[in-house]
Amino acid sequence: MKGPLNIARSKQGGPVIFQAGASDVGKNYASKEADAVFTGHETLEDAVQFYQDVKSRAVSFGRDPDEILIFPGIGPIIGNTEEEAERKYQEVAELVTTQNALNYLGRFFEHHDFSQYPLDEPFPDVGDLGRNSFQSGTDKIKRDAKEKGLTLRQVAVQAATPRSSFIGTPVQIANRVQEWFEAGAADGFMLAAAVPNGLEDFIDHVVPILQERGIFRTEYESDTLRGNLGLNVPVNRYAKDTANVGNN
């Protein structure tokens, strides 16, 4: 069907575009086109480096760096004590069988069958597998395995039972969230439930602490996702052409 769409523009101007991927291609695309980026990092240092890299690339594309938001993924595990939080992690980790870990690992390498290799020998050479799916993640897995001399079993278990750096009491988790935010590693966070009731624990016990510190909102400021993310409504790319037509 030719011609313009005959419905009004949405209130937020257009959908909020999220991108996920930490390869150079992915970061360039995000910096040029995305409103927000989902990412994942094990250390604060890596998160800060990624944040600064994407923001600087956005500037190189003529964008305001505040127009693109960075959301590291975290899976907080919260307990009334450090010991309780650690126990929750161990209970979930122990549920993962070796076969399940191999299947999970294979998803990142284009569903490669890792069960064909000896478990306790060095991680196998899988060539370019993973380049077309989770390039940044699979490159890191292969690099770590080589540098640390990890076996296939070790790689699979680590992939399937990642140890979050956000494990502890509500105050400790709030401190870590604040640390990452104030260090320039995140504009917000993508939360995942690492254990049963993990999201509820965060909402009930960590969010109130962040609100008391003035780090997290107490009310929503807008009735759109874009507005609540603090993103401006994008300029209508056809507005100029429409104005020119009207003036002719």
Task: Convert the pLDDT of each residue in 30-83 to its tens digit.
Answer: 999 999 999 988 899 999 999 999 999 999 999 999 999 999 999 999 999 999
Pairwise CA distance, residues 184 & 231, whole Å: 18
Number of domains, the chain: 2
- Residue-number span of the structural domain to which 51 is assigned: 18-80+169-229
Residue 242 lies in a domain: no
Question: Are 139 and 175 in a shared domain?
Answer: no
Domain of 41: which CATH number? Answer: 3.20.20.30
Query: What pLDDT band is residue 112 in, cutting at 50, 70 and 90?
Result: very high
Contacts of 116 (CB under 8 A, 6+ apart): none
For residues 173 and 156, membership in a common domain is answered with no
pLDDT of residue 244: 54
Please answer whether residues 247 and 34 qualify as being in contact, where contact means their C-beta atoms are separated by less than 8 angstroms.
no
Cβ proximity of 233 and 13 under 8 Å: yes
- Is there a domain that residue 247 lies in? no
Reduce the DSSP state of residue 93 to 3 states and report it. Answer: helix
Collect all residues with Cβ–Cβ distance below 8 Å to 156 and sequence separation of at least 6. 98, 101, 102, 104, 105, 114
Place of tokens 């390869």: 23
Is 115 domain-assigned? yes
Are 156 and 37 in the same domain? Answer: no
pLDDT (tens digit, 9 = 90+) per residue, 221-232? Answer: 999 999 999 999
In 7-166, DSSP assigns E strands to 18-20, 36-39, 69-74, 77-78
Give CA–CA dist 222/191, Å, rounded: 21
